[in-house]
């Protein structure tokens, strides 16, 4: 029987999925370039900026894992806490990519001829790859901090963290898509951020937050299970004990 222990934070900082997401991001960029070459303008170039922002929380979480390994003393705790705050502010940028489908849905330029329909299918695949990349980037970064919370506290705290962050992420997506706030407003426009948060306390925001929080949670839990429970749970890296 496998004995549950703390998740190992000695796993490779750069996981295989990182390389796949790097390749997918390059592919997404190429899809934008090919589309621009065929229709003579870059209609969806904002997707590239949003994809760049979606990478930031993963870079922060990878840095936090590195600090957890090599850091010492009070400085380590301070840096990890700061990384957690920065990550939480940046995290909604990852699932935010799923909301870009709204531009595809509301685009009136798709006609009924063969070429227009082909362009619609092309854009549908392109948008899906961008949004899927965002969800996976969010999953990887969240798993890093899940492992840290679990490692320094316990399993229950780790899962409470996941649930809370999922719905905070949903609210963050609402602030970005509906209120049009950005992560850096915390530094450059704090009063605008406060106004936006207060404006976001309503029934519409609650429903939006619940829906996207649920999406984030289901995606995380599904990928967590598919990855073999996400962490190496055996003590000392051993496999099983009879």
pLDDT tens readout for residues 139-193: 999 999 999 999 999 999 999 999 999 999 999 999 999 998 888 888 778 888 8
Task: Report yes or no: 168 and 94 within 8 Å, Cβ to Cβ.
Answer: no
Q: Could you give the CA distance from residue 131 to residue 96 in angstroms, rounded to a whole number?
A: 8
- Which value, to the nearest 10 degrees, does the dihedral of the CA atoms of residues 33, 35, 41, 43 take? -100
Q: Could you give the CA distance from residue 65 to residue 148 in angstroms, rounded to a whole number?
A: 8
Q: Could you give the CA distance from residue 34 to residue 32 in angstroms, rounded to a whole number?
A: 6
Q: What is the pTM of this model?
A: 0.86
**CA dihedral (40, 41, 43, 49) positive or negative:** positive
What three-state secondary structure class fits 240? coil
In this model, does residue 1 exceed pLDDT 70?
A: no
Q: What pLDDT shows up at residue 182?
A: 85
In this model, does residue 108 exceed pLDDT 90?
A: no
Alpha carbon 209 to its chain centroid, in Å, reads: 15
Q: Could you give the CA distance from residue 78 to residue 126 in angstroms, rounded to a whole number?
A: 40
Q: Please indicate whether residue 86 or residue 200 has the higher confidence score (pLDDT).
A: 86
Q: What pLDDT shows up at residue 232?
A: 44
What confidence category does residue 228 fall into, taking pLDDT thresholds of 50, 70 and 90?
A: confident
Q: Which of 18-22, 116-120, 173-177, 216-220 has the lowest mean pLDDT?
A: 116-120
Percentage of the residues of the chain whose pLDDT score is greater than 90: 62
Calculate mean pLDDT across residues 121-125: 93
Q: What pLDDT shows up at residue 236?
A: 38
Distances (CA, A) of 20 to 14, 29, 61, 62, 93: 11, 14, 18, 16, 19
């Amino acid at each position: 029987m496998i004995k549950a222990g703390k998740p190992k934070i000695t796993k490779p900082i750069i996981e295989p999925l990182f390389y796949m997401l790097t390749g997918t991001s390059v592919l997404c960029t190429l899809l934008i370039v090919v589309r621009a070459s065929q229709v003579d303008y870059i209609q969806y170039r904002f997707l590239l900026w949003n994809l760049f922002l979606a990478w930031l929380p993963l870079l922060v979480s990878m840095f936090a894992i590195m600090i957890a390994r090599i850091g010492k003393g009070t400085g380590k705790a301070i840096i990890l806490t700061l990384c957690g705050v920065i990550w939480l502010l940046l995290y909604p940028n990852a699932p935010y990519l799923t909301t870009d489908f709204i531009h595809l849905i509301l685009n009136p330029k798709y006609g009924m001829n063969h070429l227009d329909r082909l362009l619609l299918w092309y854009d549908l695949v392109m948008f899906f790859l961008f949004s899927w990349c965002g969800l996976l980037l969010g999953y990887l970064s969240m798993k890093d901090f899940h492992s840290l919370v679990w490692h320094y506290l316990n399993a229950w705290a780790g899962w409470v963290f996941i649930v809370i962050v999922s719905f905070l992420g949903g609210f963050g997506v609402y602030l970005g898509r509906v209120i049009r706030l950005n992560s850096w407003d915390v530094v450059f426009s704090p009063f605008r951020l406060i106004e936006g948060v207060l404006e976001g306390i309503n029934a519409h925001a609650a429903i939006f937050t619940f829906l996207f929080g649920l999406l984030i949670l289901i995606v995380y839990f599904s990928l967590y299970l598919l990855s073999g429970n996400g962490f190496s749970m055996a003590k000392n890296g051993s496999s099983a004990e009879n």
